Amino acid sequence: MQKFVPSMIQNFGVRGFLLVFLFALLTPKSAGAPQNSAQPRALNLMPVPANVQPGSGSLRVDSTFSVALTGHTEPRLDGAVERFLHQLARQTGLLVNSKASNSAQATLVVHTDHASKEIQDVDEDESYILEVASSGAKLTARTPLGTLHGLQTFLQLVEVSSDGFSAPAVTIQDKPRFPWRGLMIDSARHFIPLDVIRRNLDGMEALKLNVFHWHLTDNQGFRVESKKFPKLQGMGSNGLYYTQKEVRDAIAYARDRGIRVVPELEMPGHSTAVFVGYPEIAATPGPFKIDEEWGVMDPAIDPTKEQTYKFLDELIGEMAKLFPDHYFHIGGDEVNGKAWDSNPKIQEFKKAHGYKSNEELQAYFSQRVQKLVTKHGKAAIGWDEIFVPGAPKDIVIQSWRGPDSLAAAAKQGYRGILSNGYYIDLMWSAARHYVVDPLGGAAADLTPEQKQLVLGGETTMWTEYVSGENIDSRIWPRTAAIAERFWSPPSVTDVPSMYARLDIISRRLAWVGLTHRSQYYKMLQRIAGDATPEEVAALTTFASVLEPVKDYTRGDSTSWKAITTTPLNHIVDAVPPESDAARRFGELVDKFISTSCLDDDAAQRLRAQFTAWRDNDARLRPLAQRSFLVQEAAQKSQDLSALGAMGLAVLDYIPKRQPAPDSWKAAQLAMIEQLKKPQAQLLLVPVAAVQKLVEAASTVGTCATAKP
Write out the catalytic residue numbers. Answer: 334
Our CB check for a second copy shows the closer of 121 and 615 to be 615
- Tell me how far, at minimum, the Cβ of 86 lies from a second copy, in Å: 12
- In eight-state DSSP terms, residue 224 is B
- Tell me how far, at minimum, the Cβ of 174 lies from a second copy, in Å: 20
Contact 428, 577 (CB under 8 A): yes
Our CB check for a second copy shows the closer of 344 and 567 to be 567
- Tell me how far, at minimum, the Cβ of 259 lies from a second copy, in Å: 24
Our CB check for a second copy shows the closer of 88 and 672 to be 88
Give the interface segment with a second copy, choosing from 30-38, 142-150, 287-295, 664-672 (CB under 8 A): 30-38
Q: Does 27 bind a second copy (CB under 8 A)?
A: no
- Tell me how far, at minimum, the Cβ of 139 lies from a second copy, in Å: 22
| x/- letters, 446..465, toward a second copy (CB under 8 A) | --------------------
If DSSP states are collapsed to H, E and C, what string results for 269-318? CCCHHHHHHCHHHECCCCCCCCCCECCCCCCCECCCCHHHHHHHHHHHHH
Our CB check for a second copy shows the closer of 379 and 571 to be 571
Tell me the C-alpha to C-alpha distance, in Å, between residue 64 and each of 93, 94, 101, 525.
Answer: 13, 9, 11, 41
N residues, the chain: 708
Q: Does 370 bind a second copy (CB under 8 A)?
A: no
Give the interface segment with a second copy, choosing from 27-35, 247-255, 292-300, 405-413 (CB under 8 A): 27-35
- Tell me how far, at minimum, the Cβ of 526 lies from a second copy, in Å: 6
Listing DSSP states for 432-445 in one string gives HHHT--TT-GGGGG
Contact 450, 12 (CB under 8 A): no
Q: Does 523 bind a second copy (CB under 8 A)?
A: yes
| x/- letters, 529..568, toward a second copy (CB under 8 A) | xx-xxxx-----------------------------xxxx
Out of 57, 164, 286, 496, the residue judged to bind a second copy by CB under 8 A: 164
Our CB check for a second copy shows the closer of 244 and 611 to be 611
- Tell me how far, at minimum, the Cβ of 288 lies from a second copy, in Å: 22
Q: Does 36 bind a second copy (CB under 8 A)?
A: no
Side chain identity, residue 648: L
Q: How would you classify the pairing of strands 454-461 and 415-418?
A: parallel
Our CB check for a second copy shows the closer of 349 and 499 to be 499
Angle at alpha carbon of residue 322, lines to 317 and 324, rounded to 5°: 100
Out of 464, 573, 578, 695, the residue judged to bind a second copy by CB under 8 A: 573
Residues 221-250 that bind a second copy (CB under 8 A): none
Give the interface segment with a second copy, choosing from 70-78, 503-511, 640-648, 657-665 (CB under 8 A): 503-511
Q: Does 604 bind a second copy (CB under 8 A)?
A: no
Q: What's the gap between Cα 695 and its chain centre?
A: 35
By C-alpha distance, which of 107, 145, 116 is closest to 128? 145
Contact 381, 329 (CB under 8 A): yes
Q: How would you classify the pairing of strands 217-218 and 164-174?
A: unpaired
Our CB check for a second copy shows the closer of 198 and 248 to be 198
Angle formed by the axes of helices 495-512 and 75-92, nearest 10°: 100
- In eight-state DSSP terms, residue 242 is B
Q: Does 625 bind a second copy (CB under 8 A)?
A: yes
Out of 580, 590, 599, 615, the residue judged to bind a second copy by CB under 8 A: 580
Out of 131, 305, 338, 511, the residue judged to bind a second copy by CB under 8 A: 511
Out of 335, 379, 418, 629, the residue judged to bind a second copy by CB under 8 A: 629
Give the interface segment with a second copy, choosing from 106-114, 313-321, 513-521, 551-559 (CB under 8 A): 513-521
Out of 7, 53, 70, 161, the residue judged to bind a second copy by CB under 8 A: 161
- Tell me how far, at minimum, the Cβ of 245 lies from a second copy, in Å: 20
Tell me the C-alpha to C-alpha distance, in Å, between residue 534 and each of 191, 531, 590.
Answer: 36, 8, 31
Our CB check for a second copy shows the closer of 5 and 31 to be 31
Our CB check for a second copy shows the closer of 95 and 670 to be 95
Tell me the C-alpha to C-alpha distance, in Å, between residue 652 and each of 176, 689, 701.
Answer: 52, 17, 18
Residues 404-433 that bind a second copy (CB under 8 A): none
Contact 373, 379 (CB under 8 A): yes
Contact 8, 474 (CB under 8 A): no
Q: Does 46 bind a second copy (CB under 8 A)?
A: no
Q: Does 569 bind a second copy (CB under 8 A)?
A: yes
Q: Does 612 bind a second copy (CB under 8 A)?
A: no
Q: Does 631 bind a second copy (CB under 8 A)?
A: yes
Residues 69-98 that bind a second copy (CB under 8 A): 91-95
- The distance between the two most distant Cα atoms of the chain, rounded to a whole number of Å, is 82
Q: Does 33 bind a second copy (CB under 8 A)?
A: yes
Contact 685, 546 (CB under 8 A): yes
Q: Does 64 bind a second copy (CB under 8 A)?
A: no
Burial class (CB in 10 A: 0-12, 13-18, 19+), 352: exposed
Listing DSSP states for 512-546 in one string gives HT--TTHHHHHHHHHHHTT--HHHHHHHHHHHTTE
By C-alpha distance, which of 608, 684, 601, 670 is closest to 639? 684
Q: Does 706 bind a second copy (CB under 8 A)?
A: no
Give counts: helices (H), strands (E), the chain. 27, 19
Does residue 655 have a cis bond before it (omega within 30 degrees)? Answer: no
Q: Does 503 bind a second copy (CB under 8 A)?
A: yes
> Residue 15: what are its φ and ψ, rounded to 5°?
-60, -40
Write down the H helix ranges in 27-126: 75-92
Out of 227, 351, 626, 677, the residue judged to bind a second copy by CB under 8 A: 626
Our CB check for a second copy shows the closer of 397 and 528 to be 528
What residues line the site for a second copy (CB under 8 A)?
Answer: 29, 31-35, 44, 63, 91-95, 159-164, 469, 503-504, 507, 510-511, 517-518, 521-523, 525-530, 532-535, 565-569, 573, 580, 584, 621-622, 625-629, 631
